[in-house]
Amino acid sequence: MKAVLTVIGNDSVGIIAGISSVLANDNVNIIDINQTIMSGMFTMVMIIEMNESESDFSTINDKLVKKGKELGVQVIVTREEIYKSMHRI
Amino acid sequence: MIKTSEILATIKMIQQENLDIRTITMGISLLDCSSESVEETSRRIYEKVTSKAERLVETGEAISKEFGIPIINKRISVTPVSMLSPANKKEDFVEYAKALEKAALKTGVNFIGGYSALVQKGFTEKDKIFLESIPYALKETTRVCSSVNVGSTKAGINMDAVYEVGKLIKKTAELTKENGAIGCAKFVAFCNAVEDNPFMAGAFHGVSEPECVINVGVSGPGVVKHELEKHKDGDFMEIAEAIKKTAFKITRMGQLVANEASSRLGVPFGIVDLSLAPTPEVGDSVAYILEEMGLEKCGTHGTTAALALLNDAVKKGGVMASSSVGGLSGAFIPVSEDAGMINAAKCGALSLDKLEAMTCVCSVGLDMIAIPGNTSAETISAIIADEAAIGMINQKTTAVRLIPAPGTKEGDFVEFGGLLGYAPVMKVNENKSDIFVKRGGRIPAPIHSLKN
């Protein structure tokens, strides 16, 4: 299953490392990554693939949200269909 | 490939602009629940509802988490209870209401609709007993919603039913007066009621519907308002286009959730109801969309035109986004559930008469309006008759949900809490309509009902 992970918050050291390590530990593959600073906010969008992971969506989601809290950023993980259905005919 | 800007736009809609799926409503047929005894029928109702909807709430929550979109309500609608047998006295029907309440508690849904009767052309003996039972059922339960269809374009308006409904609203207010007449907030009188509406309090599972079905109601007034903020100087064509595009996006989300819920629950998908349903939360108001178009206050001159544009654009945008659009679809204008409507009513910009005019072009009708506690049953019936006439002539659904909270007068406030919000008590015309209402009989169907 593909999902979209977005991270929004104040820039600081170790955000990408922190999030990536959670993904790596759960065997989640990063397919694409896009990071930018928008209006002074750190904004990162990752496309991830969970097929090889032994954990389910909900567990991975909870771990990432928890990590986000530790890093002081907001982490949102959703299945990619939501964006496709909204923005593509 | 989805662009980052599109992903962020969707997240902004959900996080900041209150985009949500307002309800996943499971329609369940109870036509096979009638039996020889009231106890057995009640048992069958409970068994059927709890087994069909066993996984409804958990499935809704799982979808919500995976797709990152809030699904506010999980609800159930059932076949109009007035059709169930046996029922020789009003207490029998109240037993069925209690069975529904028990099933709602067990499944975890916050409302169960379908304590309903369809009497647009006339009453059966059972219908009469059923109408008498409504106030007691609403008093005895907290999650059961009730509705009565009193008119249709095909049948005309059953004025005997209109009068009975006026009286039952008064009775319900009296029986639930300790709680701000909350019973009345769970009751709707309809003209041209639809059989696949997922929204409460008027949802019921029509007799032509399948055994079990999933209907989804989307929302998102906040998203539309934010979109209009980007078109401050745009002309009407431009803002209609902007609303259409937004409605399309919102509805696509509804369709996605509906498909997912349908496949996970193994229940066929029915319709997406693409309604703009407000909540009392700031930033989730239909009135503020109308004001964004350039009206100082909702309710002033121009409001009906603004609402007509909004209602039509929502439908046009949504209709292509879903494989099957149904329900009420359009813009809701409940007073107590919309922060902008509450403000407009409070400052006197919005009157009951203006609301009636607005119902000619919105999706439903006079909704969640508190009126003085001493308003007579005859006056309430006359308000319902007016509203039903608008529905009958214009071939649209209209509804009336009035709360004559005992002891309140114009300018007071009635508090319902939660999604039902709070309402300022609005002025009604004090001239009597008693003789008119008591004439009885049926207002004939209009000429354009003869289409064959």
Backbone angles phi, psi at B71, to 5 degrees: -115, 105
Task: Say yes or no for a CB contact (<8 Å) between B253 and A82.
Answer: yes
Architecture of the domain delimited by B23-191: Alpha-Beta Barrel (3.20)
For position B404, what pLDDT does the model report? 96
Interface of A with B in 46-85 (CB under 8 A): 57-58, 61, 76-85
For position B233, what pLDDT does the model report? 94
Question: Is a pLDDT exceeding 90 seen at residue A74?
Answer: yes
For position A36, what pLDDT does the model report? 86
Dihedral sign of CA atoms B202, B206, B211, B217 in order: negative
Task: Say yes or no for a CB contact (<8 Å) between A86 and B249.
Answer: yes
Dihedral sign of CA atoms A54, A58, A61, A67 in order: negative
- CA dist A87 and B37 (Å) reads 54
**Average pLDDT rounded to a whole number, residues B146-152:** 98
Question: Over the stretch B20-60, which tens digit does the pLDDT of each residue have?
Answer: 999 999 999 999 999 999 999 999 999 999 999 999 999 99
pLDDT band of B317, cuts 50, 70, 90: very high
Question: Is a pLDDT exceeding 80 seen at residue B282?
Answer: no
- The length of chain B in residues reads 452
Question: Is a pLDDT exceeding 80 seen at residue B131?
Answer: yes
Name, in order, each residue with C-beta under 8 angstroms of B217's C-beta and a sequence gap of 6 or more. Answer: B21, B22, B23, B25, B198, B199, B254, B272, B273, B275, B277, B327
Q: Is the bond preceding B424 in cis, omega lying within 30 degrees of 0? A: no
- CA dist B189 and B384 (Å) reads 7
State the nearest Cα–Cα gap between A86 and chain B, in angstroms.
Answer: 5
For position B220, what pLDDT does the model report? 87
- CA dist A31 and B167 (Å) reads 65
Partners of A75 on chain B (C-beta within 8 Å) are none
Cβ-contact B42, B91 below 8 angstroms:
no
**Average pLDDT rounded to a whole number, residues B366-390:** 97
Question: Over the stretch B159-197, which tens digit does the pLDDT of each residue have?
Answer: 999 999 999 999 999 999 998 899 999 999 999 999 999
Which ipTM was obtained for this model? 0.89
Per DSSP, B191 falls in state E
Question: Is a pLDDT exceeding 90 seen at residue B5?
Answer: no
- Which of A8, A34, A86 has its CB closest to that of B10? A86
Q: Could you give the angle at the alpha carbon of B96 between the alpha carbons of B90 and B101, nearest 5°?
A: 125
Residue B431: Cβ-neighbour burial (10 angstroms; 0-12, 13-18, 19+):
exposed
In whole angstroms, what separates CA B449 from the centre of its chain? 25
- Which of A58, A81, A87 has its CB closest to that of B65? A58
Of the given ranges (A37-41, B206-210, B386-390), which has the lowest mean pLDDT?
Answer: A37-41
**Average pLDDT rounded to a whole number, residues B65-81:** 95
**Average pLDDT rounded to a whole number, residues A72-82:** 92
Q: Which domains are present in chain A?
A: 7-87 (3.30.70.260)
Residue B385: Cβ-neighbour burial (10 angstroms; 0-12, 13-18, 19+):
buried
Identity of the highest mean pLDDT range in A12-26, A55-69, B317-331, B380-394:
B380-394
Question: Is a pLDDT exceeding 90 seen at residue B420?
Answer: no
